[in-house]
Amino acid sequence: MSFTQFHLFFDDLKVDQEWESLGRTVTEADLVNFAGLSGDFNPIHMDAEFAATTPFRQRIAHGILIFSLGSGLALFSPAVRTLAFKSLIDWQFKEPVFIGDTVRLHSRVLNVESRARGRRGIVTWHRQILNQHRKIVQEGRTQTLVQGRAAQDSTECDKDDLPKRTLQLAAQP
């Protein structure tokens, strides 16, 4: 998928703007697939009998699985021209997430910093993953590298100017 006209540029983001994603229900298949992918078969995630003996009384989702779901929910909340995940500044795992819980992501812009003459910028986010009871299950600060309008402008050129540019490039040693 490429960026669309609906994806925001770095220049469109302002400090204190907020978004909330749609919900995503965590399933048993999510836990099983994530365990297979990550190799984390800890019984707190995989063994219902064992999990019943813990303070949680049932299996809990892998914390990193929920973080990953939050990353996916951020894709359209808001839809931004993200080029890279730059930094995980801090992150806390506050509450367990269980099979059947529905999570959503709340995002707020903390800072925007232009780079490369506006071709891209670094956005610092405060992100919260909330469950269906609106309890914060995870939260922290992240940074992403986002395309700026100047990058699009620098790749566009007038069609009449194209032959001149080609000749200029060909004439260079």
Give the pLDDT confidence of 75-120 residue by residue, as tens digits.
999 999 999 999 999 999 999 999 999 999 999 999 999 999 889 9
Instruction: Please give the tally of structural domains in the chain.
Output: 1
Residue 106 lies in a domain: yes
Residue 2 lies in a domain: no
pTM: 0.85
Residue 4 lies in a domain: no
pLDDT in tens, 115-169: 998 899 999 999 999 999 999 999 999 999 999 998 876 655 444 444 444 445 5
Residue 115 lies in a domain: yes
Residue 124 lies in a domain: yes
Residue 1 lies in a domain: no
Phi-psi category of residue 57: left, alpha or beta, with phi > 0 → left and psi -120 to 50 → alpha: left
Q: Domain span at residue 70?
A: 10-171
Strand intervals (E) in the chain: 18-20, 24-25, 82-93, 102-115, 120-130, 136-147
Domain CATH number, residue 123:
3.10.129.10
